[in-house]
Structure 1
Amino acid sequence: MKPRGCAWYGLVALALALLPLVGCASNTKPRTAAAEAWATWGTALQVSSMAYEGTMIAVGRASAAGLLTPDQLTKLRDAGKAVELSLEAARAALAAYGRAMAAGETAPSPSELVLAAHREILGLLALASKYGLDLTSGGVS
């Protein structure tokens, strides 16, 4: 059975919450703490990006089918834009962190920006769930 609506939201929220704690399971070679953090935050951003893309596809399909009011569509688009901007800022911070790490320099951790992006995506998912979007097939549940 496919997760629908709130179940999908719960699974994504759980994955985002656990990812910074467990890191990347495929890591078998020892790495520095900075490299481990960089990989973990990068993976977390990939998960958030996929959740964002899937949600916005569902918004587009529901809108095209006439299943959203103009007010709902505006709120979802605004939330989507906030997620997009947060993801861009987090990616830029992560890239700067990686470049500094490669150069042997110390750089501020991108963790706060990554966590801000997570908060934005969770807000978008909550709004999509509130409006009954089916995030598994792009329709309305």
Structure 2
Amino acid sequence: TLSLLELSKLADRFCKDGCKSFNNSFYFISSGQKSWEDSRQDCKDRGADLIVVNSKEEQVFINSFKRKFWIGLSNRDREGTWKWVDGSVLNSTGFWIGVEPRGRFAGVRDGCVSTLWYRQQNTWNDDDCSKTKPGVSKGGPGVL
């Protein structure tokens, strides 16, 4: 367990440009439009990574940002196998919009997940990894 001072230092380091907090984690929404890979690097430069969504409550929280953005889920390593940036495999149905993931980008080594904010819960969309949009970094105890 981190002390309040240690948590404050983490927040100062990670949130130098402003962020939101939820359940002892910090979320930074980049202002720039970048590819999935460049968005991930931006997160790493902050000492964090693209968000790994761990619960329905966290999904509802990130939907409150009301923006399209990259999350830390892709099938770049192997088509059809969705993995988080922490190496874990998506072990649930996730929060896909309707018929997603459609796999429109098969054979192009592209299949990164972004959110579309206009829904309450199911907002995930498989997308071309080279498209540009903001990314959401997650930091905090156990993440940074």
Q: Same fold (TM over 0.5)?
A: no
TM-score range, shorter chain: under 0.3
The structure that has the greater radius of gyration is: 1
TM-score normalised per structure 2: 0.27
More strand by share: 2
TM-score normalised per structure 1: 0.27
